[in-house]
Structure 1
């Protein structure tokens, strides 16, 4: 495995969720995630309970590959960042152990001037330092 600058990776990762330019966002998705990269979201409790109530064994949500990842990031940008309501920020610096990087992030409400949510990110990276699997746990 090549040397990975974990902090740089998570800064680019958080940056893509805040990126207003769709082409820069797409390019960054390609740089940060492996070609078949997978983003798995453990949704907030309310959404999880609704999915389980509908008969789903698990309520994890997935996006795989650059097209789906770009759509996922774009949807989050359009819903939370574009209206000027939130920005996503790193809350806790990267920690790395071999091919795993973890960090905490927060959604900062610009109108209230405070963090109103966040979560834990658990990234598994490939030998090139790109994300193979991105486990997102929303608080």
Structure 2
């Protein structure tokens, strides 16, 4: 990371959220390959994935389950030692977001994300 590391973390998080909001499968896959290492791991309370293809499949599945939902950042990005944490929420534009959480990402030497640890703070009632 550069001397002003926070701008690097903010850029990575911006790209991460853009990947989650990209609904064109081909564009999403290109962005995933550019943002994540080949052996990236992802784990949150709802899913676990390993590798770029599984991340792509998982994001596509979330988009199918929650059509029209977008993810927006919440608060500031906090980063140090090649890791960053950030809050986010997911919902329909212009409405209160039913899902919110925070993720921690670690960044490999090549500047790509190699691990995502997700936590959910707000989820819709199952019913």
Q: TM-score range by the shorter chain?
A: 0.7 to 0.9
Aligned length: 117
Listed one character per residue, the Cα deviations across residues 72-104 of structure 1 (whole Å, up to 9, x for unaligned) are: 111112222xx32x2111112211111111000
The equivalent of 2:125 in structure 1 is none
8 A contact 1:7–1:94 mirrored in 2: yes
Largest Rg, 1 or 2? 1
Q: TM-score, normalised by structure 1?
A: 0.78
- Equivalent residue for 1:108, pick from 71, 91, 106: 91
Deviating runs (4+, > 4 A) in structure 1? none
- 1 or 2 for the larger relative contact order (CA 8 Å, sep ≥6)? 1
- Equivalent residue for 1:75, pick from 47, 61, 65: 61
- Equivalent residue for 2:107, pick from 99, 103, 125: 125
CA RMSD of aligned residues (A): 1.5
* Unmatched tracts of structure 1, length 5 or more: 44-60
* Unmatched tracts of structure 2, length 5 or more: 122-127
